[in-house]
Amino acid sequence: MSTSHDTVTIRPITGPDEIALFNRLPYTINHELDDDLADKRRRPEWMWVAVRGDRLLARVAWWGRSGDDTPLLLDILDVDDTAEDLTEVAQALYETAAKQVLAPGAVPPEYGRFIPADWREDPDAYRAVRLRIGVLENTGAHLTVERLRLEWNPAAGVPTPDRRLAFRRVGDTDELIALMTRTLDGTLDAHSRGDLAQMSPHEAAVKHYEQEFATYSSPREWWRIGTLGEDGEPVGFVVPARNAYHPVIAYLGVVPEHRGRGYVDGLLAEGTRILAEEDVPRIRAATDLGNAPMANAFARAGYVNFERAINMAW
């Protein structure tokens, strides 16, 4: 489908042959798009452009799990930030594409975007972020959370272990979901709190497990439960993994009765150690800007805030 708005043509890309066109607008994940198409995390019909002649004005794209029929995330919405105000073009592009990509009446997938860590201090970055937020606010979306993107590299060194804790592998899925359910009590994570407003803690834990942990191809033998000494009661757990792009600390939780005693540092140290022993070049992680205890734990472990992310929902 191709739609024209005052000499601006809005259409999906034809396929991998138009990735070079699609990538004329810079973004931190451009280098991943070829592989995403090959691995069916994206489809050409989920990747749309607004062009005037041979000039790319704006683009939009959705992402999903490999082979999924419907996208899980809107993760690209870009305009040529060096040009005139293209807000109306970007909004027309999103609305035209969404009508074709999304099922009629369906709630649109969440929007997620990586942004500079200092975006509020950089006038150009601030203007670019606000434009994208404004475009989606005009369609009914609202900002839900801002997150810190974190990275550890081997030069930082493996964090010191907590000698109070012993670690064992997760016994089975039910054991992990039970611990996840317990750690949701009092959570500061915005996505988890959103889930808890609509479902029980157990249901939220199952949803998170099935949508994320169950999709990892990395060994489940990496997942660890931290206990008070050998055969002691669990204080929490950590899920080191490798997603489609990076080694990650996918989840880290301390059960409510053991919070405030510094066990988070030991859990994070163990997860970092497991991945470091795989000779990974980096480890990625993320936490909400408002989750100061978790952000501070990552900083103590040598993780650097290299970027931020925003999420919006309808």
For the stretch 127-157, pLDDT in tens is: 999 999 999 999 999 999 999 999 999 999 9
List the Cα angle 137/141/143 in 5-degree steps.
90
- H or E, element range at 149: strand 142-152
The residue assigned the tokens 């027309």 is 92
Which residues, listed in sequence order, are joined to residue 152 by a DSSP beta bridge? Answer: 283
Full set of structural domains in the chain with CATH = 8-140 (3.40.630), 154-308 (3.40.630.30)
Per-residue confidence (pLDDT) for residue 265, from 0 to 100? 98
> Helices marked H in the chain — which ranges?
19-22, 33-38, 87-101, 123-137, 173-183, 190-196, 201-211, 263-276, 292-300
One pLDDT digit (tens) per residue for the chain, 314 residues: 556 556 999 999 999 999 999 999 999 999 999 999 999 999 999 999 999 999 999 999 999 999 889 999 999 999 998 878 899 999 999 999 999 999 999 999 999 999 999 999 999 999 999 999 999 999 999 999 999 999 999 999 999 999 999 999 999 999 999 999 999 999 999 999 999 999 999 999 999 999 999 999 999 999 999 999 888 999 999 999 999 999 999 999 999 999 999 999 999 999 999 999 999 999 999 999 999 999 999 999 999 999 999 999 99
Q: What is the DSSP letter of 282?
A: -
- Find the farthest-apart pair of alpha carbons in the chain and give their distance in angstroms, rounded: 70
